[in-house]
């Protein structure tokens, strides 16, 4: 384990705007790391939050307690494993029951199991693909159905620069994150097509958009397993010269979630300190 500082440098501590007032966001992996920063950022613009988590109930309750201090009563937490389609459908139902609607889905839950490809087991391959890629699909399916019925919605995937560049030791992760790019573009096309066919597309409508953010190396617990010498090598290759802060991903997510971003769909938003140049 390396000595990475995962403490947020600029936590969003309270309401700052109303761009998302009355909106409800479901954020998978929403109780820590990038996901928690996304929840706080969306809430700072007025959204209510359904935050998903997989295993660590204590951490999820801790998140809720801290969140409530700044945005009282505006979040619920929902346990589920995104690699299980039945959990995804249940979590969407729970969020709808608690909040009445889902305007924004952020597919953020993700895992790594790093190993050189020649040493990677079939299980390590399948598990990472199941959580990162299949999980995104399982969540998007019921959320999209709800959004199509209402005629509006935002789906935002949190992929990775690794899906665009590849990385030593990450065949499973890179493939899963690259898969999310194709999923984004397909769902973006289908959503626009279905809305048009249903007569729900208007020039001034909020519509349904589907986009992806591709973070670079973000200072979260996920980086703690990267050997220090490797992390030093990686950091030396980032033009901006430092790791990314979770808030720097969150601000792009809340920009894409806004009604005014209706003309942006099927796009990949790199937030990587210039790593892919």
- Exposure pattern of 254-265 as b/e (b: 16+ CB <10 Å)? bbbbbeebbebb
Nearer to ligand CAA, 81 or 172 (CB): 172
CA distance 231 to 208: 38
Question: Is residue 162 a contact point for ligand CAA (CB under 6 A)?
Answer: yes
Q: Which candidate, 103, 32, 111, 28, places its Cα nearest to that of 66?
A: 32
Given 17, 22, 182, 227, the residue binding ligand CAA (CB under 6 A): 227
| Whether 263 is catalytic | no
Nearer to ligand CAA, 120 or 194 (CB): 120
One of 53, 138, 173, 263 is an active-site residue; which one? 173
Q: Which range in 120-128, 144-152, 161-169, 194-202 contacts ligand CAA by CB under 6 A?
A: 161-169
**Residue 158 near residue 261 (C-beta atoms within 8 A):** no
Nearer to ligand CAA, 110 or 153 (CB): 110
Q: Which range in 66-74, 88-96, 165-173, 196-204 contacts ligand CAA by CB under 6 A?
A: 165-173
Q: Which candidate, 111, 97, 86, places its Cα nearest to that of 50?
A: 97
Residue nearest to ligand CAA (CB): 169
Q: Which residue is listed with tokens 């626009």?
A: 192
Q: Which of residues 6-45 bind ligand CAA (CB under 6 A)?
A: none
Question: Is residue 217 a contact point for ligand CAA (CB under 6 A)?
Answer: yes
Question: Is residue 248 a contact point for ligand CAA (CB under 6 A)?
Answer: no
Question: Is residue 103 a contact point for ligand CAA (CB under 6 A)?
Answer: no
Question: Is residue 107 a contact point for ligand CAA (CB under 6 A)?
Answer: no
Helix, strand or coil for residue 260?
helix
In 38-103 the beta strands, taken as DSSP E runs, fall at 48-53, 75-79
Given 54, 132, 134, 170, the residue binding ligand CAA (CB under 6 A): 170
**Residue 28 near residue 262 (C-beta atoms within 8 A):** no
Give the CA-trace dihedral at 158, 135, 187, 22, to 10 degrees: -70
Given 29, 169, 207, 270, the residue binding ligand CAA (CB under 6 A): 169
Given 114, 243, 248, 270, the residue binding ligand CAA (CB under 6 A): 114
Q: What is the 3-state secondary structure (H, E, C) of 193-236?
A: HHHHHCCCCCCCCCCEEEEEEEECCECCHHHHHCCHHHHHHHHH
Residues that bind ligand CAA (CB under 6 A): 112, 114-116, 160, 162, 167-170, 173, 215, 217, 222-223, 226-227, 229-230, 233-234
């Amino acid at each position: 384990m390396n000595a990475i500082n995962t403490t947020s440098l600029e936590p969003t501590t309270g309401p700052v705007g109303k761009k998302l007032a009355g909106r409800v966001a479901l954020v998978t992996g929403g109780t820590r790391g990038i996901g928690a920063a996304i929840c706080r950022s969306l809430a700072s613009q007025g959204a209510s939050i359904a935050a998903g988590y997989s295993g660590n109930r204590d951490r999820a309750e801790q998140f809720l307690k801290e969140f409530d201090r700044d945005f009282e009563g505006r979040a619920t937490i929902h346990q589920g494993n995104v690699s299980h389609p039945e959990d995804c459908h249940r979590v969407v139902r729970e969020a709808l029951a608690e909040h009445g609607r889902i305007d924004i889905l952020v597919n953020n839950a993700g895992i790594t199991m790093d190993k050189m490809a020649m040493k990677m087991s079939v299980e390590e391959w399948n598990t990472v693909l199941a959580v990162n890629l299949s999980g995104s699909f399982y969540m998007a399916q019921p959320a999209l159905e709800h959004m199509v019925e209402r005629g509006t919605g935002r789906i935002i995937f949190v992929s990775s620069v690794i899906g665009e560049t590849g990385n030593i030791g990450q065949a499973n992760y890179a493939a899963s994150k690259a898969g999310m790019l194709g999923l984004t573009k397909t769902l973006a096309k289908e959503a626009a097509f279905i809305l048009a066919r249903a007569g729900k597309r208007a020039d001034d409508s909020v519509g349904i958009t589907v986009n992806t953010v591709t973070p670079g190396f973000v200072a979260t617990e996920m980086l703690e397993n990267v050997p220090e010498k490797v992390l030093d090598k990686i950091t030396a290759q980032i033009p901006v010269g430092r790791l990314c802060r979770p808030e720097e991903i969150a601000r792009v997510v809340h920009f894409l979630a806004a009604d005014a971003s209706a003309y942006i769909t099927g796009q990949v938003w790199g937030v990587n300190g210039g790593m892919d140049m």
